[in-house]
Structure formats: C-alpha cells, structure tokens
Chains A and B, each alone.
Chain A
Amino acid sequence: MKLTRRKRNMALITMTPLVDVMMILLVFFMVTSTYLDLDMMPMVQSESEGVAAPADPAPTLLIRITASGEARLRGQPLTAQSLASALASQPRARVLILPSGGANVQALVSAIETATKAGAENLRVVRLEAAE
C-alpha cells in the first residue's frame, strides 16, 4: 500500500513584525544620536619626539598668553599680520607659545590658530608642570 503524504501549505512569513522592529531601531538611532562636527589639534606627536637641538639654533619668537587670555608678541597684542611680518624678517624662526596657567583652552587654541594663519611652521607650546 502506498501512502501519499498530504501536501502542506507553505508557511506564510509575514513581513510586518520585521518592519516594526526595523522602524524601532531606526527611530532609536535617530533619537539617541547627536551629530557633532568635530576637528582636532595635535598636542603630542610621536614623530616629534627625540628631536635633537639643531647645531645652529634658530631664533625664537615667543608668544605669551596672559591669565586673561590675551596673546602678546613682543609686548604687543598678537595678530596674524604682526606674526607674519616677524616671521618674514626671521624666516627660520620657531614660534614658542608660553601660556599662563590661568588662561583658558580657548585662548590657547585661538593663539595657535593665529600662528598657523601667519604661516608658522615650527610651532611649539610650552607645557606647564603639574603641582604635585
């Protein structure tokens, strides 16, 4: 005797729960994410370590940042023009930024920005030691 297997209907997969789950995930990512456009400024770079002092030391231009956040070059308020003209007379000069500990981060970043705009290539920030 031959038994015939009854043909079963194909199980129907409903898409609706899948769409629901995806919709919830999408809304979750849209709501929880905050999209920030951020840049960076290098503070420590591994390749700059171990640089020996050159035999012929380059002249130094010192930019001081006061506790109130004002950047000064040779006693005058720092501008991109004043630094550019100082760099034009001393092309190999390195630019050293000496910030006061009381100044804020914005003041340092603004001074670095001005120096970069003026074309300073050899730019360094004098870092303060921690009071232990």
Chain B
Amino acid sequence: MKLKRRTQPPPQETIVSLIDVIFFLLVFFMLVGRMDATAPFEVSPPVSAAGESLPKGGTTIAVAENGALALDGEAIERPALLAHIADLLSKKPGLFVRINAHGEARLTNLLPLVTALERAGVGDVVLVITPNPA
C-alpha cells in the first residue's frame, strides 16, 4: 500500500517582528550614544576615581599632549578659540565648557586656559576624566 504524505503549506514567516526588533535597537543606539565631534589629535583623559558624572551638552575644548587645541573637533589657535568662546557666550550666557585634556599634557597648557575662560565669563568649566573603578 502506498501512503500518500499530506503536503503541508509552507509556514508564514512574518517580517513585522524583525522590523520591531531592529527599530528598537536603532532607537536604543541613537538615544544611548552622544554624538561628539572627536578632536583631530589623540586625547586620552587622565584617570581618576574622584569624578562626577559628566552632564550632556556644552562645548568641548580638546587639549593635546603637545598643547594643541581643538574646539568641537576643529583644530584652533588659542586667540581664535577665546574669541569663539566669547561669541558663544554672548549668545548663551550660561555656557558649559568641557575640557578634554590629554593626561600627559603639561599644566601650562591647561591652567592658563581655564583662567582665560573664567575671565571671559564662562561660569561652568569641567575637566573630563576617565573613571577608575579601583
């Protein structure tokens, strides 16, 4: 006797759940990531366990190991940088400035800059550090 196998219809794969998952992942990466312009030179911030959480927003000044400066990812000289900061400050008085300095940068390249920023009227300047869990 010959048994005839019943032909089953192919299972319906819905693509909708896949789209949902991809969409959630996309939104997650867009929300979690903060788009920051990276400096045109290498900056590895100093390591310390005594830091506080870094707030979002503001302007980033990067200081390279050799003292080169960058404002929001664009290399800039110090006078132009201060002029730009003064310009930003006139538009937004409560300007928040992050200084992303290389850990090996000399303090002569950092502390006078902080003083100049304070003189220009910036009331909120922070130094970016890498947290050390130890």
Question: A40 near B128 (CB under 8 angstroms)?
Answer: yes
Majority secondary structure, A binding face: mixed
Which one of B29, B105, B112 lies within 8 Å of A128 (CB-CB)?
B112
Question: A33 near B107 (CB under 8 angstroms)?
Answer: no
Question: A38 near B25 (CB under 8 angstroms)?
Answer: no
A 47-69 binary contact with B (CB < 8 Å = 1; else 0): 00100000000000000010000
Q: Interface segment, A71-79, A82-90, A101-109?
A: A101-109
Minimum CB distance partner of B108 in chain A: A101
Question: A109 near B111 (CB under 8 angstroms)?
Answer: no
Residues of B in contact (CB 8 Å), total 53
Question: B22 near A101 (CB under 8 angstroms)?
Answer: no
Majority secondary structure, B binding face: mixed
Q: Give CA–CA (A106, B30) in the complex, Å.
A: 32
Indicate if A7 sits at the interface (CB-CB under 8 A). Answer: no
Which chain B residues border A29 with CB–CB below 8 Å? 26, 29-30, 33
Residues of A in contact (CB 8 Å), total 47
Indicate if A8 sits at the interface (CB-CB under 8 A). Answer: no
Which one of A26, A40, A130 lies within 8 Å of B25 (CB-CB)?
A26
A 21-34 binary contact with B (CB < 8 Å = 1; else 0): 01101100110010
Indicate if A122 sits at the interface (CB-CB under 8 A). Answer: no
Question: B107 near A128 (CB under 8 angstroms)?
Answer: yes
Query: Shortest beta-carbon distance, A107 to chain B, in Å?
Result: 8
A 105-126 binary contact with B (CB < 8 Å = 1; else 0): 1111110110011000000010
Q: Give CA–CA (A100, B110) in the complex, Å.
A: 12
